[in-house]
Structure 1
Amino acid sequence: MIKDTFFSLPRFVNLCRKEMVESWKTNLLRIVLLYGLMAVIMLWNGYFEYKWDHSSSSDPMWTFLLGLFAWFLWGGGCLSASFTMEKLKTKTSRISVLMTPATPFEKFFARWFVFTVVFLVVLLITYKMADYTRVVVYSLAYPGKSFITPVDLSHMVGDSDFYTLCDNNWQFGAFVTGYFFVQSLFVLGSTIWPKNSFLKTFAACALIVVVYTSVGAFLGKMFFQGKGYYNLWGDWTEENIFCLLIIGCTLFTIVNWTIAYFRFKESEIINRM
């Protein structure tokens, strides 16, 4: 019988260890699949890129690799978030989760930590491993091309002559907070639909976006038709817009995670599948 406390760090650490050790085969398979998929894509693109002679001193693959990291971050993050409550899919695993001697917050926070924070660490490690695999393979294949080097992720943001995903810190902040907002939608979806969570959440989000876009376009056409160009943002600067976007995404992310937690607490009372 546990003490009626909200959070205990030793118990939380043990719970995280339990979550990762019990499913180590599944987790290992997912990590290998993630590494293998990135390595294959990098090697395939490198085959077409490196067969030509390049006069530049920088690796011509870097532009592609930075974009690839962003795609795997968003896509993998959403897929990982949809696994947050996968143990609630069956009756047996559901009882096992709910009977674990820990508080509801610790159970939810442990699952959230593994599939949100640990995922980012795993993604970074597997991405660098796949990148070094590319460098080793093509350094051996083309020993005279000294520009084949590992990608520098610091080029994701910065105002320079080299390609960057984000030109300044405001854009990078919007990129990061936007990722966590979208990821939080899939965390929430996993608590609502433990079965086929990714597909159902994606379908629900796509439907909502289509409806809101259609309604917004209809209202805009109805109210502003014949009135010429209408500047929605007025005299707002780019920094103001990105600042508003960062604040909005942060608030909605926290709200989604909070709703997901309370939805998880409901599962201890009733199963709404």
Structure 2
Amino acid sequence: MEKRLIVMDNRYLIAPEPASSKLTREVTGISHEGEEVSLRVVEERPLTIYLNRQEIVTAMTIGDHPEYLAVGYLRNQGMLLPDDVITGIDFDEEVETVVVRTERATDYEEKLSRKTRTSGCAVGTVFGDVMEGLQGLTLPEATIRTSDLYSLAKEINTTPSLYLEAGAIHGTVLCRGNRPLVYMEDVGRHNAVDKIAGWTVLEGVKTADKLLYTTGRLTSEMVIKTALMGIPALVSRSGFTAWGVEIARQVGLTLVGRMRGRRYVCLSGAERIVRDADLASVADEPAKSRRKSAGPDE
């Protein structure tokens, strides 16, 4: 499979495109004062993913990077194996489908009968046997420096994005050290992380020295996908679910949440964290500001 070109940005390899006319639409409404207002809202469209000749799922997505989304979804569901050879990816925008073709013949009829709806805002799906992929999983050793976490949070939270432009969307960022590399957005946080997974697969990028930063809740699905990608740390401004914490502890994933200003909570894998930051140099958020900034995911 021929590698795709990486879209360069002055800070990111792939960055959000808040100005893209394909990703938002202008609509009018009435304000609380009874006046007509105009604002941009995020587009949402279906994308049906096929693996060879078999229809796997229809995802609701903003429509960017469909190839990355399809490959990442299939890999995170255990349908694309690490040694699979991808022979082609065909995206048809008109009929909103993407077909991933492999040398290996595939048939997942039985697997497709066992699936669980997840808590993703656009309704995520995890197939019933996905936990089997975590058995015996060992995540790589890593060092997570608090100076890097604070630097990443500041840069990511001020990056022009669809979230800042229109809201109603989640972002997930693949990072290395104090540098954010790939920033994906979507109506469901599970889609955003699948896009990153697809990017690492198609570009042949190793994940052992990376971490994921997400704007959404640290749920079981987010923890599972991060672990299956071989990434040792998952960080969020938002909070946790109990099952997400339990799975993170089972697989040894470093899980950091409620990161606002200089504050954060680590509920798993704290042994990887090196507290090298000078907290006096990190601007904190007043409690009122933290409550005000809390979105529906928090």
Same fold (TM over 0.5): no
- The structure where strand makes up a greater share of residues is 2
Q: TM-score, normalised by structure 2?
A: 0.21
User: Comparing both chains, which one has the higher relative contact order based on Cα–Cα distances under 8 Å and sequence gaps of 6 or more?
Assistant: 1
Which has the higher Rg, Structure 1 or Structure 2?
1
- The structure where helix makes up a greater share of residues is 1
